[in-house]
Structure 1
């Protein structure tokens, strides 16, 4: 009997979009099992590609272009998405993400452009906000975004501090009274991580090195975030406060609420209903590691699959954690003979992975 296959991967960051990976996995699967019925549901978890996922999932969604100050100090062209119910989706990766950094600058990159895009959505009449904050290039505690929205962060002389984590070292006062009121529909932070702001599992220690920080700079990033906490007086241990270099912390101080990013995108896609009609599901991401269980796409899709009694398969660029929750798993790096080759042509190796997973499923 033909099998209904649901393919719901995240993007393979730096290699290919979720839609491209889903199509390649499907092509590989049908090369092995041509009679199967394949459904594509490219996913996102609050990081890069979230805007695209919502645009595909929600009929009538409209993109609005916006030019903002990028994290490296140059203007960048970005966009935000207006949903038919008036909610706006704004993606940090579009405005202030790593892709906008010609060179990594862990002390000076900032989120000011993200705040500008949020402000543009509010000025256009957004009745609610979904803020996807994955893919950040900075560790500024969200201060840049809040400053763009009207908050004031000043040094002991009353002068505005410079943008970026480096500026937090001079922070003496914060005035949030200039922030706009939250829209009637509220502000939800879509995030794929649960880290607190400070400590060994915090923004600086875990994510600082990914943004170019060496060991000494990580210590400095942490120290400056501690200063921000002393000034704002908000709890740094809140789940998700460390997301996006502490942007979660800043947005929570505004009054936003944290929401699992993958679940929000999955709901928009109708993924739970699609799962009920599937015989097997294939998910994936660029690197499946110890952080994948904390709200990333494979963990979310896997949970839905278990609840529906559907076997789940995994394709990932690299696999660095146990895959016991999946009935089969394939690494693109393993197929390609190394990570460099897999990254250079992710669609090719995703197609090969799809074929391999189909063979594994057939052999169960």
Structure 2
């Protein structure tokens, strides 16, 4: 039997490559006659650069940027010709913030702007930014400040880099220089590969959907929602006609704000998708972008079953994550998709609607989940071996 192992990372417990090798090793041991192929994936979040380098090659260039809490942290650029790939999680990832400092009203995306400036300094004609796994919820306001300062440009004001909680008081004066910053990137193609397809605002937006996992209380999440909404309208008004209008909606600032905030992926990485869209970025689904880069469709077509997975398989997984992208491409080739995840919080009806044949959890009770977090590789291997016994023929 030909088996393709194509998972995302399992949170901060296992990288995509580690998870893929763990599942593959267990499968080979259980079903030694099967032909097992490994293809780690990413949705734009952690592991984005590693996955792309394995497929595209290129040169890694080290840089230092500012973490979400103001500390210096190392990051990398991946140079492939005149294209530079960036992984925002290296600058604003949740593991960069100690548990006691996890407060998305204060954490800043400034480091992503500094990464982008380093890419421009490297001579990039095209920059691809992977979004996902962030500790921030500032709609990319901090990134705008980080980019402007790194390029030696005036404005926007430093208050934008103080975290999402400060954005509710932003004024037009704070956004002076935003148009000039957008103009500075006019000759560079900016592509943003988002890990989820959610909007900036609303029930599934950056604040309501994701702020809690970054340390926000319910009250803080509501405050962030209001603050990001205020910032979005102020920023689009500051850009004015610099943003190409939607001819169907008109050229009013409110129409531009609605279009940019509602765009799929605008809410990714705490709203970084929206912030980079202010600079003219084109938002694309990260999982699809990576899948195209590694030739996932052709790989799936040459196998009998594909096994994918991630740390927690829940509603977010069905909004542009690796699992849903794998299932979509496998369905086109009539190849069954099997999910192995740390936790499975999706029902059978949702699985069927997503084109997923079966899903298996490493941990099915609180004690088992705790055990999986304590020993991620052995527990994943044990579950993968049981899945292999079920599926190998």
Query: Could you state the TM-score of these two structures normalised by the residue count of structure 2?
Result: 0.86
Shift of 1:362: 3.2
Provide the residue aligned with 2:64 in structure 1: 67
CA distance in 1, matches of 2:143, 2:364: 40
1:32 aligns with 2:30: yes
**C-alpha deviation, 1:336, in angstroms:** 9.6
Rounded Cα–Cα distance in structure 2 between residues aligned with 1:123 and 1:171? 30
Which of 289, 311, 322 is the aligned partner of 2:336? Answer: 311
State the 1:226 CA deviation. Answer: 1.8
Matching of residue 98 in structure 1 with residue 90 in structure 2: no
TM-score by length of 1: 0.93
- Tell me: CA distance 1:279–1:336, structure 2 relative to 1, closer, same or farther (3 Å): farther
Alpha-carbon offset, residue 259 of structure 1: 0.7
**What's the Cα RMSD here?**
1.8
Moved over 4 A (4+): 159-162
Partner of 1:52: 50
Structure 2 Cα separation of the partners of residues 183 and 55 of structure 1 = 27
Give 2:376's aligned residue: 346
Deviation at 1:337, TM superposition (A): 4.9
CA distance in 2, matches of 1:310, 1:215: 41
Written as runs of structure 1 = structure 2, the 5 A alignment for 1:1-364 is 3-59=1-57, 61-83=58-80, 85-102=81-98, 103-150=101-148, 152-154=155-157, 160-173=159-172, 174=175, 175-179=177-181, 181-182=184-185, 186-233=189-236, 234-235=257-258, 236-322=261-347, 323-324=351-352, 325-334=355-364, 337-362=367-392
Query: Matches of 1:232 and 1:185 in 2, distance apart?
Result: 21
More helix by share: 2
Confirm or deny: 8 A CA contact 2:109 2:161 kept in the other structure. Answer: no
Shift of 1:320: 0.1
Q: For the Cα contact (< 8 Å) 2:141–2:161, is it kept in 1?
A: no
- For structure 2, the residue ranges without an aligned partner over 5 or more in a row are 149-153, 237-256
Q: Secondary structure at the match of 2:156?
A: strand
1:100 is displaced (CA, Å) by 0.8
How far does the alpha carbon of each residue in 1:116-173 deviate from its partner, in whole angstroms, 9 at most, with x for none? 011101111012111111011111110111112227234xxxx755521133133102
Question: Unmatched 5+ residue regions in structure 1?
Answer: none
Distance 2:204 2:126 in 1: 31
Q: Secondary structure at the match of 1:28?
A: helix
1:31-88 deviation per Cα after TM superposition (whole angstroms, max 9, x unaligned): 22101111100000011111111121112x11111111111111111112112x3211
Contact 2:197 2:285 in 1 (8 A): no
